[in-house]
Amino acid sequence: MSEKRETALPLRKTNRRLRTEDCIVVDKRELRKAQLGAGVGNFIEWYDIGIYGYLAITMTSVFTEGMDQRTGLLVTLLGFAVSFIIRPLGGMILGPLGDRIGRRKVLFFTMALMASATFLIGVLPTAGNVGLWVIVPLYLLKMLQGFSTGGEYSGAATYVAEFSPDKHRGFWTALLNTGAQLGFAAGAAVVAATTMITTSVWGEEAMRDGGWRIPFLLALPLGIVAISLRNRIPESPSFEAVHEKTETADVDPLFVRQNLASILRLYWPQILIGIALIAADGTSSYTVTSYMPTYLETQIGMAAVHTAVATVIILLIQALIVPVVARWSDRIGRKPIYTVATIGNLVLLVPAFALMHIGEVWSLYLALFMVSLPSAFFLALTGAAMSELFPTASRYGGVGFTHNVAISLFGGTTPLISQILVEFTGNSFAPAFYVMFFSAVALFALTRMRETAGRPLLGSVPVVASAEEADALVRDQDTNKHIDTSTMLLVPVPTGSGKHSAL
């Protein structure tokens, strides 16, 4: 069997030559339209997460009226956890579906479902009106949000990665996470503005009496705008090219759409690498966005106003850093940037947590910046790196499973586990050690990861920004280390044509 494989690989590569017409030249206008259409969903996803988190105390009084305050808060926060528990199911179902019917159709569906679920939370009756049973529809709507989110980010990342020129894929996909940070900041800002306006007009109980509905209701007009944008975006050119060729050809399994079971069987090494990287990314990112306000208020005694303002400012800074780092990764590679991110957490987190305990405003901002910097490096790579792990025919399914399983197990649980560690160990530095552990695991996973920056996506032909770039790739394909025709669906060159003698 090994002898057969040794002769088969060179033969497969020899029989395929890249031609100029094989390359996909991206229309810049279409690329911008695709990025905007995909990115707006990520913005709204994090807007939804942000408003629920920042309204948690108000939601407790609205939906658990009559319960003990601490029990009610746990019931409300469980709604947040429920959405993460259901995310992998969304990825498992919507990912393979996106590989079968197209990225665009599934992204349209996830946006419509997400906006509708968020809006409907805003029109639910309160426990004071109908009783505690209202928690049931609240959880069901949070589950719908989680299900749609399971297909949202993985689909958007897959779509934008396939639409982007190979040399700039990191930058374009990173804009999705820039949108995520801005969405979270927008959620916090809308809650703050709604609170200020309603309480100044109707008094201190205004948010509890109905003001809390406004941020949720705003999801409907936002969703309509997003759906309108997504209705105009074209399908991924890489998906269309592979879909058309595999319909009529008997091809290598690399180019065949696989179901979830086959994805797990064929691509388990990539899945393990992806889970390790997303675990480090998720623990780092959710520490900044979801746990730091609680930690600073309970462990350091910081006023809520300082922590809220500081968190929004840090998110805005991250939104600026992410595309810069991503563009850097397009030049020097994904692995060096991941290495900086993991080592950054290992080196910076303990000093950052020590700074927090000084308890001054200046130390708060400096500490949060130190915690958020490695997180920004992780976020810069998520979309590109996950998409580069899997072949085009099965990419949506592979990314959907890997990203959602990892982010559900290790991202959404970070605030809860971090707080449990603090209470169980009595060590206020325990959250830092928790994040550092996963960064160490990711550092090991990098030794098993191949460098993917600048290369065509697995199972796809090169995607370029100009016809001149396509001509250069074809001319230099025998010496270009980024070109491997065995991973591309190309028309075999007839034997004896003399056109493949260089190989």
Total domain count, the chain: 1
Neighbour-count burial of 499, counting CB atoms closer than 10 A to its CB (0-12 exposed, 13-18 middle, 19+ buried): exposed
How distant is the alpha carbon of residue 164 from its chain centre? 17
pLDDT surpassing 60 at residue 500: no
Residue 89, in any domain of the structure: yes
In a domain? residue 497: no
User: Who has greater pLDDT, 304 or 422?
Assistant: 422
Is the model's pLDDT at 111 over the cut of 50? yes
89-93, 106-110, 305-309, 324-328: range with lowest mean pLDDT: 305-309
| Top-confidence range, 79-83, 305-309, 450-454 | 450-454
The stretch 97-122 carries a mean pLDDT of 89
The C-alpha atoms of residue 280 and residue 262 are separated, in whole angstroms, by 26
- The listed range with the strongest mean pLDDT (186-190, 243-247, 296-300) is 186-190
**pLDDT tens-place string over residues 442-488:** 999 999 999 999 999 998 899 999 999 999 999 998 888 888 888 88
* pLDDT at residue 11, rounded to an integer: 35
Determine the pLDDT at residue 444: 96
Asked whether residue 4 carries a pLDDT value surpassing 70, the answer given is no
pLDDT at 249: 47
Q: What pLDDT, on a 0 to 100 scale, did the predictor assign at position 493?
A: 54
Q: Compute the distance between CA of residue 272 and CA of residue 386 in angstroms, rounded to an integer.
A: 11
Instruction: For residue 240, tell me if it sits in a domain.
Output: no
pLDDT confidence tier of residue 10, bands split at 50, 70 and 90: very low
Helices (H), 15-102: 28-54, 56-63, 69-101
The predicted pLDDT at position 33 comes to 83
Structure tokens given for 114: 């997400």
Q: What is the pLDDT of residue 245?
A: 58
- Give dist(CA 180, CA 200) in Å, integer: 30
222-235, pLDDT tens digit by residue? 889 888 888 888 87
d(C-alpha 114, C-alpha 95), whole Å: 16
Q: What's the rounded mean pLDDT across residues 51-70?
A: 83
Describe the crossing of helices 28-54 and 219-230 by its angle, rounded to 10 degrees: 160
Mean pLDDT of all residues in 429-434: 95
Q: Which residues contact 414 (CB under 8 A, 6 or more apart)?
A: 282, 283, 286, 287, 290, 291, 434, 435
Q: Rounded CA gap, 397 and 400, in Å?
A: 5
Residue 11 falls inside a structural domain: no
| Per-residue pLDDT at 354 | 95
pLDDT > 50? residue 175: yes
Mean pLDDT of 242-256: 62
In this prediction, residues 275-301 reach a mean pLDDT of 87
In a domain, 492, yes or no: no
> How large a percentage of the chain has pLDDT more than 90?
41
DSSP codes of every residue in 143-186: HHHHHHHHHHHHHHHHHHHHHS-GGGHHHHHHHHHHHHHHHHHH
**pLDDT over threshold 70, residue 299:** yes
Give domain status of residue 311, yes or no: yes
Look up the CATH number of the domain holding residue 350: 1.20.1250.20
Q: 43 with 183: CB under 8 angstroms?
A: yes
3-state helix, strand, coil in the chain (%, to 5): 80, 0, 20
Q: Which domain holds residue 289?
A: 27-235+254-446
Span 272-297, average pLDDT: 89
Domain contains 224: yes
Q: Give CA–CA dist 440/317, Å, rounded.
A: 25
Mean pLDDT over all residues of the chain? 86
Alpha-carbon span 29 to 27, nearest angstrom:
6
Question: Per-residue pLDDT averaged across 261-288, rounded?
Answer: 94
Mean pLDDT of 118-125: 94
Q: Give CA separation, 95 vs 163, 401, 496, in Å.
A: 17, 7, 42
Sign of the Cα torsion 105, 108, 112, 115 reads positive
Q: Flag the least confident range among 225-229, 272-276, 288-292.
A: 288-292
- Enter the tokens of residue 14: 């020899």
293 pLDDT more than 70: yes
Residue 470 lies inside a defined structural domain of this protein:
no
Q: What percent of the chain has pLDDT over 70?
A: 92
468 C-beta neighbours (distance < 10 Å), count:
10
